[in-house]
Structure 1
């Protein structure tokens, strides 16, 4: 690598990056999933395009793992624990029992319909059984589903990468089919152990990191996103080196850190989102370079057959069996079956048998590549339509506010930057009606490009930006109060949800910081 080659490489990578960024706009207008555009860019640069030769499956696997770490970390940062907490039990069952059912059904279809030997069939089933976190997160941001449903899909896509990676490695290992029956019975215990280790390490790193970042004020706000992302990578590395699941550790650590109320939270999520975009662009372009387009036509119909078996049989069966104890309505079963989106994860996992030297693994890679492209084209654009047809949309749900916290170290206080989104119930609420804890005050409102100091009777509007100054003692209580009013309106904390009964409720003094006491409602 010389300076001249470095300059050429930087020019090429920058051009690809800018084209990929511009392609996002094209994707938004056309409805074409961005991953297909990025794959197309990689294929255009490859052997059948501009002639860039690339066939290093091992390097693709390594870089793919690195990209998945960043993508999973961003998914954890952007996931609200209060939304997915009720959905964790069904998500865990989907990520374990559901994956096992999907692997078995898909492997049987690959063996009996395509004639693959059992090792390749099991590898195929394991590779395509995991839903893709990046694809699910990106689609759910456009589809206003009920929180119970969207939380289940988010948690499942974050959890199921870990057991699937372990299964693919086990099936692709040399002599996998020569194992004794006892060794196959030990495999679930080994997978469970790795998941437990990854879970524990993710929780420890997340909680310890959150505690340290709260106690140590960093000298620059830009250091917080770097530190938080670094902690998630640390969780992955420690778990991977201690026979644990690194992917589960990074997701859990990011989930804990993203919900810990750390300073500059929105900035951290924005940084993670940008890094995830870079990871996705690089990963998909690299995967497009690795594939040989001339070989894909031969495996088009096998990919369609496996995709139909996966989408119409394996996924619905795994959803029904996994959610049977939770008694979910059939409409949710149907939507969750169709929402089992595949993306970068299956293609990256398909490089594992290639690196392991499994015979016929090149064909598995081609089938998985075509399957992801074809069924992403079908499932992604039709998911919002299906949600509307099943009347599972939740477009009227109140949006929550975005709050960014900047510590004021020498003043022993915090400056909160609050954005009022379009569907927030803060709209129309007067400053005095916020009833913030004693020690907190709204000091500035920015509206339509101009700023002013609000009066107690100033009514907030959609799109407003607020600056709220709080002391250390009531910072968390202030944030909770703002979130509560954003979701429930000015009567949040006074009436039961919906308010139809007219019964007053006691407001927790912890939430309000002891700054006020509600009166009894007239109905009482």
Structure 2
């Protein structure tokens, strides 16, 4: 036990060290974490033998729950509304068309049967939110494009998951029913939406009823509700990933105690989940088995991940107001990540034919995608002039941040939500009081009719309960 804990600690520390290397050389973090796992594996310097696809799948499922839930919590309703139709089109019809078009290519270039080709194509049909967001997090990509890329990558996994579940059941039953397949997909999506809205609406009221007064316990409660949402939805054959994404969006756009800190706590948990998921995927793969897939994997990556993706994006976004440059960037931003590899482990645990070949080939294609597309994504955005000149001013505090600081001081910016307003119109929380206002060298007594101006220095205090 002590040795195991030592090894886990060393792996985590090396994973964190790889983040520094990732930033310095602009290498996507996913690749670095996977490399740590491969180095720790049986063919690396660690010598750890691991080949349990079921454990990998279980860890991946838990990790995806946190990743999708955390992403949903930070998705703004305004962004969803502005990018809903293009992003939802790409997340649904885009996934389906990608799987269909890719099937023909995979079937013609591999020894997979038609059904295996379709299943393989479905596994690589969705994009990866974690990989895309990590690369774009410190950029000023124009909001119109960023919203589509973020929401699509966060919401297309459920569609791919539903398609894969259907295809696996199709493999097992060895029969096909058109109406049965349509009903299955509608049930997955329909129950996913219904459960997502239901749990999204009851989570905060239930938390208030329980009366959770500490932020760490609220984080635990939100995590538990994410598990309940996923589990309950899956039990009635709904799409659990879709449910937790919708529930998280509804929760994240409401005001609640310790909101900012809880979002940070969820990001912390998500970071640990990402390390766990990527490292164990690196442990699961045997590098010596990948050598035989270099040619076919590279060819499929170019044709499927880049070529088919570009065809589908240009086809579907033709009906929306996007320039050629914007469509090209959205196409290139369709990075693959851990999700296709997790999906591939499902084929192994189900004992499907050629499942190990699928896993190795998908693993190589993901590595190819993240390395090539990921490294070139930011330079491409700069070349296409899709990055804004000025970054967002992070010195401007939101109301949620103000609510969670016991004593806080801000200097108003001209773009602040408090500038040019009377104090009585600020709609501050009942627990928040303005202590003083400093304007140049003068201190002003806070009164309801005082108008706040840019460059005012304001000191706030929050009353304790």
| TM-score normalised to structure 2 length | 0.88
After TM superposition, the structure 1 stretch with the greater mean CA deviation from structure 2, 74-83 or 141-150, is 141-150
Shift of 1:51: 1.8
Quote the Cα distance in structure 1 between the aligned partners of 2:99 and 2:106: 10
Answer whether contact 2:73 2:251 (CA < 8 A) is retained.
yes
Match status 1:40 vs 2:35: yes
Q: Secondary structure at the match of 1:160?
A: helix
Answer whether contact 2:103 2:118 (CA < 8 A) is retained.
yes
Match status 1:25 vs 2:20: yes
Shift of 1:217: 4.1
Match status 1:307 vs 2:301: yes
Q: Specify whether residues 419 and 256 from structure 1 end up closer, same or farther in structure 2 by C-alpha distance, changes over 3 A only.
A: farther
Q: What is the correspondence of 1:486-501 to structure 2 with a 5 Å cutoff?
A: none
- 2:11 aligned residue (7, 11, 16): 16
After TM superposition, the structure 1 stretch with the greater mean CA deviation from structure 2, 136-145 or 76-85, is 136-145
Match status 1:69 vs 2:62: no
Quote the Cα distance in structure 2 between the aligned partners of 1:445 and 1:90: 45
Aligned to 1:219: 213
Match status 1:197 vs 2:191: yes
Q: Deviations over 1:446-497 (max 9, x none)?
A: 9xxxxx98766997669x896355999xxxxxxxxxxxxxxxxxxxxxxxxx
Q: Secondary structure at the match of 1:442?
A: strand
Q: What is the correspondence of 1:468-487 to structure 2 with a 5 Å cutoff?
A: 469=462
Answer whether contact 1:198 1:248 (CA < 8 A) is retained.
yes
Answer whether contact 1:39 1:288 (CA < 8 A) is retained.
yes
Aligned to 1:324: 318
Aligned to 1:443: 435
Shift of 1:244: 0.4
Q: What is the correspondence of 1:215-294 to structure 2 with a 5 Å cutoff?
A: 217-294=211-288
Q: Secondary structure at the match of 1:168?
A: helix
Quote the Cα distance in structure 1 between the aligned partners of 2:290 and 2:342: 17
Answer whether contact 1:403 1:418 (CA < 8 A) is retained.
no
Q: Specify whether residues 428 and 87 from structure 1 end up closer, same or farther in structure 2 by C-alpha distance, changes over 3 A only.
A: closer
Quote the Cα distance in structure 2 between the aligned partners of 1:254 and 1:108: 37
Q: Which 5+ residue runs of structure 1 have no aligned equivalent?
A: 408-413, 447-451, 473-524
Q: Deviations over 1:255-309 (max 9, x none)?
A: 1111111111111111110111110100111111110110101011111111111
Q: Specify whether residues 465 and 73 from structure 1 end up closer, same or farther in structure 2 by C-alpha distance, changes over 3 A only.
A: farther
Q: Specify whether residues 381 and 417 from structure 1 end up closer, same or farther in structure 2 by C-alpha distance, changes over 3 A only.
A: farther
Answer whether contact 2:60 2:342 (CA < 8 A) is retained.
yes
- Give the number of equivalent residue pairs: 453
Answer whether contact 1:417 1:465 (CA < 8 A) is retained.
no
Quote the Cα distance in structure 1 between the aligned partners of 2:418 and 2:256: 29
Aligned to 2:175: 179
Shift of 1:143: 2.6
Shift of 1:187: 1.3
Shift of 1:254: 1.1
Quote the Cα distance in structure 2 between the aligned partners of 1:155 and 1:417: 35
- Larger RCO, structure (CA 8 Å, separation 6 or more): 2
Shift of 1:396: 2.7
Quote the Cα distance in structure 1 between the aligned partners of 2:335 and 2:444: 47
Q: Specify whether residues 223 and 428 from structure 1 end up closer, same or farther in structure 2 by C-alpha distance, changes over 3 A only.
A: closer
Answer whether contact 2:411 2:454 (CA < 8 A) is retained.
no
Answer whether contact 2:437 2:445 (CA < 8 A) is retained.
no
Aligned to 1:150: 146
Q: Specify whether residues 427 and 73 from structure 1 end up closer, same or farther in structure 2 by C-alpha distance, changes over 3 A only.
A: closer
Match status 1:467 vs 2:457: no
Answer whether contact 1:404 1:416 (CA < 8 A) is retained.
no
After TM superposition, the structure 1 stretch with the greater mean CA deviation from structure 2, 233-242 or 382-391, is 382-391
Q: Specify whether residues 430 and 65 from structure 1 end up closer, same or farther in structure 2 by C-alpha distance, changes over 3 A only.
A: same
Shift of 1:354: 0.9
Aligned to 1:506: none
Q: Secondary structure at the match of 1:327?
A: coil
- 2:349 aligned residue (335, 355, 365): 355
Quote the Cα distance in structure 1 between the aligned partners of 2:92 and 2:279: 31
Q: Specify whether residues 417 and 284 from structure 1 end up closer, same or farther in structure 2 by C-alpha distance, changes over 3 A only.
A: farther
Aligned to 1:167: 163
Q: Deviations over 1:2-28 (max 9, x none)?
A: xxx2x2222211221122122212211
Q: Secondary structure at the match of 1:426?
A: coil
Aligned to 2:416: 426
Shift of 1:218: 2.1
Answer whether contact 1:174 1:356 (CA < 8 A) is retained.
no
Q: CA RMSD in A?
A: 3.2
Shift of 1:188: 2.9
| TM-score normalised to structure 1 length | 0.79
Q: Specify whether residues 417 and 270 from structure 1 end up closer, same or farther in structure 2 by C-alpha distance, changes over 3 A only.
A: farther
Aligned to 2:52: 56
Answer whether contact 2:423 2:452 (CA < 8 A) is retained.
no
Answer whether contact 1:106 1:310 (CA < 8 A) is retained.
yes
Answer whether contact 1:119 1:177 (CA < 8 A) is retained.
no
Aligned to 1:499: none
Shift of 1:171: 2.3
Q: Which 5+ residue runs of structure 2 have no aligned equivalent?
A: none
Quote the Cα distance in structure 2 between the aligned partners of 1:356 and 1:424: 59
